[in-house]
C-alpha cells in the first residue's frame, strides 16, 4: 500500500509555479528522500502533504485521507520536524517533551524519546540554553513522541556535527525498522544515499528523476571515469566499459595510478538539476 499518493499536483504563487504537475507515490514503511535545490518546490510540496498549505489542483492522499480536509485523528498519525520550530524556551527538555506527549492518544514514553534523540545529558536544561544542534534534537523528539505512522523530516540534521548526524541516521533506521514511513528532504546527498530506499529529484516544480540511490537518473548505466598516468602524462576517459579499458591499459605496461570512478549520487544530481535549469 502507498502511504502517500500524489497526482498532477499544482501550486502557484501569483505567476510563479512553485509546483507544476507532480506525481509521487511513497510506499508504507519506506524511507523516501525528496532532493532539489532551494526554490525547487520541496517545501511547498511537503507542506501540502502535511496539510499546512492548500493546493491549487491535483489529487493528494496521505494515509488514505486528503490532508487538506483531514481532522485531528489523522493529524495524530503523522509527525513533523520542520526546518525551523518555535519552542517553549523557558521549559526544560523533559518538560517540553512531556508537554507535547499529552497531545497524542498513543505516545512513546518520554524517557525513551530522550534516549533515542541523545538528549539525556541535557534533560534538565532549559531549551533556550541549548545549541542549534541540540535544539534540532528536541525538534526530532517532538516529531516522534506521538509514535507517528508517517514522519516528515525537513532537513533534520542541519546544525548537527558529524557524530550527531550518524546517531540521527541510526534513529531513522530504528524508526524505519519499526514500520514508520519517512519522507526526508535534505541537501546532504550522502544522507539520502545512506538512508533512502527510494528518492526523487525535484527541480523547477517538477520531478525530473526517481529511483533508488543506485539507479536514479540512470546512475547504474552511466559511464565510469578511468584515469591513469604514463610516460606522456596523466589521462582520463569516460567509458561504459571500464573493465575492458583497464584490460587494454594493463596490456600496454608503463601505467601507474590507475583508477576507476563510478559516478556518485552527487554527479547525477548535479547533472539532473543542471539539465533542468
User: What does the pLDDT look like over 223-242, one tens digit per residue?
Assistant: 889 999 988 889 999 888 88
> How many angstroms separate the most distant Cα atoms in the chain?
72
Which pLDDT score is estimated for 276?
60
Is 197 a residue whose pLDDT tops 60?
yes
Prediction pTM value: 0.87
3-class secondary structure per residue, the chain: CEEEEEEEEEEEECCEEEEEEEEEEEECCCEEEEECCCCCCHHHHHHHHHCCCCCCEEEEEECCECCCCCCHHHHCCEEEECCCCCCCCCCEHHHHHHHHHCCCCCCCCHHHHHHHCCCHHHCCCEHHHCCHHHHHHHHHHHHHCCCCCEEEEECCCCCCCHHHHHHHHHHHHHHHHCCCEEEEECCCHHHHHHHCCEEEEEECCEEEEEECCCCHHHHHHCCEEEEEEECCEEEEEEECCHHHHHHHHHHHCCCEEEEEECCCHHHHHHHHHHHHC
Which of 238, 85, 252 has its CA nearest to residue 156? 85
For residue range 125-177, what is the model confidence (pLDDT) as tens digits? Answer: 999 898 888 888 898 899 999 999 999 998 888 777 888 888 889 989 999 99
CA-based torsion, 47, 50, 53, 54: positive or negative? positive
Residue 86: pLDDT over 70:
no
Mean local confidence (pLDDT), 67-86: 87
Identify whether the C-beta of residue 196 lies closer than 8 Å to the C-beta of residue 184: yes
| Mean pLDDT for the chain overall | 91
pLDDT of residue 223: 87
For residue 87, pLDDT over 80 is answered with no
pLDDT at position 162: 86
Q: How far apart are CA 78 and CA 182, in angstroms?
A: 10
Q: Does residue 56 surpass a pLDDT of 70? A: yes
CA 16/CA 204 separation, integer angstroms = 10
**Number of neighbouring beta carbons within 10 Å of residue 226:** 22
Segment 89-98 mean pLDDT = 92
2-217 is a CATH 3.40.50.300 domain: yes
Amino acid at each position: 500500500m502507498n502511504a502517500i499518493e500524489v497526482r498532477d499536483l499544482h501550486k502557484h504563487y501569483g505567476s510563479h509555479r512553485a509546483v507544476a504537475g507532480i506525481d509521487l507515490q511513497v510506499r508504507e514503511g519506506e524511507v523516501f528522500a525528496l532532493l532539489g535545490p532551494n526554490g525547487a518546490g520541496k517545501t511547498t510540496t511537503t507542506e501540502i502533504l502535511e496539510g499546512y498549505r492548500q493546493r491549487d489542483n491535483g489529487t493528494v492522499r496521505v494515509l488514505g485521507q486528503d490532508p487538506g480536509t483531514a481532522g485531528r485523528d489523522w493529524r495524530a498519525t503523522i509527525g513533523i520536524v520542520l526546518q525551523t520550530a518555535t519552542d517553549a524556551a523557558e521549559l526544560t527538555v523533559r518538560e517540553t517533551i512531556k508537554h507535547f506527549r499529552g497531545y497524542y492518544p498513543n505516545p512513546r514514553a518520554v524517557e525513551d524519546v530522550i534516549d533515542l534523540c541523545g538528549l539525556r545529558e541535557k534533560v534538565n536544561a532549559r531549551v533556550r540554553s541549548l545549541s542549534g544542534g541540540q535544539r534540532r534534537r528536541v525538534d526530532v523528539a517532538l516529531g516522534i513522541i506521538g509514535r507517528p505512522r508517517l514522519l516528515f523530516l525537513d532537513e533534520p540534521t542541519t546544525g548537527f556535527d558529524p557524530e550527531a548526524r550518524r546517531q540521527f541516521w541510526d534513529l531513522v533506521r530504528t524508526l524505519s525498522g519499526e514500520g514508520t514511513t519517512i519522507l526526508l528532504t535534505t541537501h546532504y546527498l550522502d544522507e539520502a544515499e545512506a538512508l533512502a530506499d527510494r528518492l526523487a529529484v525535484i527541480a523547477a516544480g517538477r520531478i525530473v528523476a526517481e529511483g533508488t540511490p543506485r539507479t536514479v537518473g540512470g546512475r547504474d548505466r552511466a559511464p565510469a571515469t578511468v584515469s591513469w598516468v604514463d610516460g606522456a602524462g596523466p589521462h582520463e576517459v569516460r567509458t561504459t566499459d571500464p573493465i575492458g579499458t583497464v584490460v587494454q591499459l594493463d596490456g600496454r605496461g608503463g601505467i601507474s595510478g590507475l583508477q576507476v570512478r563510478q559516478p556518485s549520487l552527487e554527479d547525477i544530481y548535479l547533472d539532473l538539476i543542471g539539465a533542468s535549469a
